[in-house]
Structure 1
Amino acid sequence: MTEKVLVTYGTTNGSTAEIAEAVATVLRKDGLSVEARPARDVASVAPYDAVVVGGGLYAGRWHKDARRFVRRHRRTLAGRPVWFFSSGPLDPSASQRDIPPVRGVRRAMTRLDAREHITFGGCLEEGARGRVAGMILRSGKGGDFRDFAAIETWAAGIAHELNRS
């Protein structure tokens, strides 16, 4: 059984962190030892047996902290089970169909032989930081499109896979 799992993420306004925490909660309920941490704060992945990496999507790119995490730890990650998730569409599309990973995430998945990627809806609400976020909110396109039932189902699949290995 996998002893320790890292759920790490890159986020600007916190909604990807909330998805990561939901994933970590499910993994813990299934008996796994889990740490959820911002990607920029992870110095080493050596203590972990498996890793879940999430990043918010901004202008078609994964959050810079998630990209840097994968690049910085690529050698160690290559020897572990790895899953990726993205959060971002500010509409219900992620709940309606499979949204493939953006190009950079797809490349990282291939290099690391990642097990799976999923895209969840994003969340952008009043008070969000950033000029672009402000423009999106002023245009009326914000909101919370995260589907926590889908997030929990995906996380349960990871827990099942880790518990049977």
Structure 2
Amino acid sequence: MPTKVLVAYGTTNGSTARIAETIADVLRKRGVPTEAVPAHSVTDVESYDAVVVGGGLYAGRWHKDARRFVRRHGRVLAGRPLWFFSSGPLDASATEKDIPPVPGVRRVMTRLGVRAHVTFGGCLEEGAKGVVARKIVSSGKGGDFRDFGRIEAWATDIGSELVSGLRSD
């Protein structure tokens, strides 16, 4: 049963990284050894028993590093307990209602047998990279819409599933 978890993420401005690190912290507190690693730097997933993959949403698509990670490691991921998360809405909508995965993520979820997906609010603040991001911030539409209570609750659910699987052995 799962004993080591990878939380791989694609991020541009660090918002998704903070979500991934929060998920990893919750799992570690539950006694599950977990690493949060940028998706582009992962070379092998064989040593992990379960994987969580997250990506920031940009123009209706998952971050390119998350997409490439899933494409590169798909065969191994399909044989592991696997969860996905997205981050992106720059409003409270992700806290107020369940936002389904974007079509590209939904297709991969079906192919790989992903256990669950959740969309969390995003964060875009002063100093953001990219022309579009800077315009969003300067227009007053940026901000931090991550709900860390919700992120921690979702990670706790994953931890419970993993820990109960460990006990059933």
TM-score range with shorter-chain normalisation?
A: over 0.9
* 1:107-163 Cα shifts (integer Å, max 9, x gaps): 110010000000000000000000110111121100000000000000000000011
**Cross-structure match for 2:81:** 81
User: Aligned partners of 1:107, 1:45: CA distance in 2, in Å?
Assistant: 21
- Could you say what secondary structure the match of 1:40 adopts? helix
Q: Which residue of 1 aligns with 2:40?
A: 40
AA partner of residue 94 (structure 2): A
| Structure 1 unmatched runs, 5+ | none
Partner Cα separation in structure 1 for residue 41 and residue 12 of structure 2:
14
Work out the CA distance in 2 between the residues paired with 1:46 and 1:38: 16
The residue type equivalent to 1:126 in the other structure is: E
Which residue of the partner structure matches residue 14 of structure 1?
14
Q: Structure 1 vs Structure 2: percent identity of aligned residues?
A: 72
Deviations 1:68-99 (A, max 9, x none): 00000000000000000000000000000000
Mapped to 2, the partners of 1:17 and 1:156 lie a distance apart of 18
1:27 shift after superposition: 0.1
Q: In structure 2, how many angstroms separate the alpha carbons of the residues matched to 1:18 and 1:138?
A: 23
- Cα deviation digits, residues 24-80 of structure 1 (max 9, x gap): 000000000101100000001000000000000000000000000000000000000
1-structure distance, mates of 2:64, 2:33: 27
Using the alignment, how far apart are the partners of 2:144 and 2:26 within structure 1? Answer: 21
Displacement over 3 Å in runs of 4+: none
Cα distance in 2 for residues equivalent to 1:160 and 1:131: 41
> TM-score of the superposition, structure 1-length normalised?
0.99
Which secondary structure state, in structure 2, belongs to the residue aligned with residue 73 of structure 1?
helix
Aligned residue in 1 for 2:141: 141
Alpha-carbon RMSD: 0.5
Give distance in 2, aligned partners of 1:112 and 1:128: 33
- Runs of 5+ consecutive residues of structure 2 not aligned to the other structure: none
Distance in 2 between residues matched to 1:89 and 1:76, nearest whole Å:
30
Amino acid at match of 1:56: G
In the other structure, the counterpart of 1:119 is 119
Write out aligned runs for 1:85-124 (5 A).
85-124=85-124
